Structure 1
Amino acid sequence: MSSTEIRTQVREFISGRFPQVTFDDDQDIFEMGFVNSLFAMELVVFVERTFAVRVPNNELRRENFRSVTSITGVVERVTAASTTA
């Protein structure tokens, strides 16, 4: 799956939960004030289910889930690690 496809799916997931909010791929969704810890866990579950990966504990950091760009990076890293393992 390409970076563009990953970004699109992540953006659609976030937009689906918060349709009233406009944001770009690099904006910190936590600093915008509409994301809480429960939604952060929803993001992790979304990533694992949508992209058929397991996010390891060392990737479960706020900075990895703060923007569409950072979430895309997590998916790419985890996917790459699972294909080389």
Structure 2
Amino acid sequence: MDATNIQTEQAESTDIQQDVLTFLDAQTKRSWGPEADLFAAGGLSSLFAMQLVVFLEKTYGIAIRGKDLRLDNFRTVVNMVALVERLRGDR
């Protein structure tokens, strides 16, 4: 993998991260950090996790099924970015 590909992947990860943070901010009316535990911080429920699933599926054209529906995949924005990239085959 060359430097251009690495830079492109990093830019795409940053874009996904920003998209998810924007969605979270709009839905929860508060700001989140990429590594904040969304569920331990309180206020977010398993129902909200399903909203995140729908958002990620529609936004990135992926299907989140079976073992990928674990709460840990949605606990932080960093985890969600990794999930999206894995399901898209980015990494």
Counterpart Cα distance in 1 of 2:61 and 2:16: 12
Match of 1:15 in 2: 25
TM-score norm. by structure 1 comes to: 0.88
Aligned positions, number: 80
Deviation at 1:10, TM superposition (A): 0.5
RMSD (Å), alpha carbons: 1.4
Counterpart Cα distance in 2 of 1:26 and 1:72: 11
Q: Give the 5 Å matches for 1:5-84.
A: 5-19=15-29, 21-80=30-89
Identity of aligned residues (%): 35
Checking the alignment, whether the CA contact within 8 Å between 2:34 and 2:77 is kept in structure 1 is yes
Bigger relative contact order (CA 8 A; separation at least 6)? 1
Match of 1:3 in 2: 13
User: Which consecutive aligned stretches of 4+ in structure 1 deviate over 3 angstroms post-superposition?
Assistant: none
- What is the identity, as a one-letter code, of the residue corresponding to 1:15? D
Deviation at 1:56, TM superposition (A): 2.5
Deviation at 1:34, TM superposition (A): 1.3
Larger Rg: 2
Q: Which has the higher helix share?
A: 2
Counterpart Cα distance in 2 of 1:59 and 1:37: 14
- What is the identity, as a one-letter code, of the residue corresponding to 2:12? S
Counterpart Cα distance in 1 of 2:62 and 2:46: 21
